[in-house]
Structure 1
């Protein structure tokens, strides 16, 4: 069994355990590894433009807002923009701040007929540390020292 298969099997198992509709759920380091190993894999950052400007972004990611700031207005063109920017057979990995919006994006894309949709758990900034009130302390893309840049 190859490494890509191992990563996808782990992601599928997580999704089945939670009865999620999309293909699987990846940890940030797994998503990063898949970007390196799986030809045609795409990381879709669904955070708002404001979040990218304030908190930084992932150089390899395609940015398509799920919701816009201010007001967190849903992007009515999300699925069309995604279809225009990606191959229908691509493995798509969705990431947001903490994994909640990317979860919804992966589910919506699966419902729309895309077969290879994955949520990146923990997201870019990770879970909120309730002891300090801060993100980027417990987990997430940045905390795991994966590639990112201030925009």
Structure 2
């Protein structure tokens, strides 16, 4: 089962469960240039610009999280790619999956901008850029 969790609840979960892994599934350029939560691990689900699925995604996660009982929180830009990635992990037997439903940047606003209506950054949670 994949639990939907908002960014603030995800942050609280991370503080309360040190055994967790925060998996950022965005393209490496997004991860580095737009920013990411501290200690997030980047294993892309899809690669820009064509948004092709990463054929090595599952193997990358298995190397990072060998125990399928480890809580894994998944994050992308808005919650869509992370949901898809979580579904792949659930099918592979991972048991404790949490999709951060607003993502890092949140949904588009009326002007087609992000980070103004939701998301990790909008909620004022810790983040950094490379």
TM range (shorter): over 0.9
RMSD: 1.1
Does residue 112 (structure 1) correspond to residue 78 (structure 2)? The answer is no
Does residue 121 (structure 1) correspond to residue 101 (structure 2)? The answer is yes
Q: What corresponds to 1:7 in structure 2?
A: none
Measured against aligned partners, the alpha-carbon deviations of 1:103-137 in whole angstroms (never above 9, x if no partner) come to: 1011111111111111101100001002x210000
Query: What TM-score comes out, normalization by structure 2 length?
Result: 0.94
Instruction: Give the number of the structure whose alpha-carbon radius of gyration is greater.
Output: 1
Q: Would you tell me which structure has more helix in proportion to its own residues?
A: 1
Does residue 101 (structure 1) correspond to residue 81 (structure 2)? The answer is yes
Shift of 1:60: 1.8
Rate the CA distance shift 1:136–1:117 in 2: closer, same or farther, 3 A.
same
Matches of residues 62-77 of structure 1 in structure 2 within 5 Å? 62-77=41-56
SS of structure 1 residue aligned to 2:123: coil
Moved more, 137-146 or 105-114: 105-114
Matches of residues 28-43 of structure 1 in structure 2 within 5 Å? 28-43=7-22
Query: What TM-score comes out, normalization by structure 1 length?
Result: 0.81
Greater relative contact order (CA < 8 Å, ≥ 6 in sequence): 2
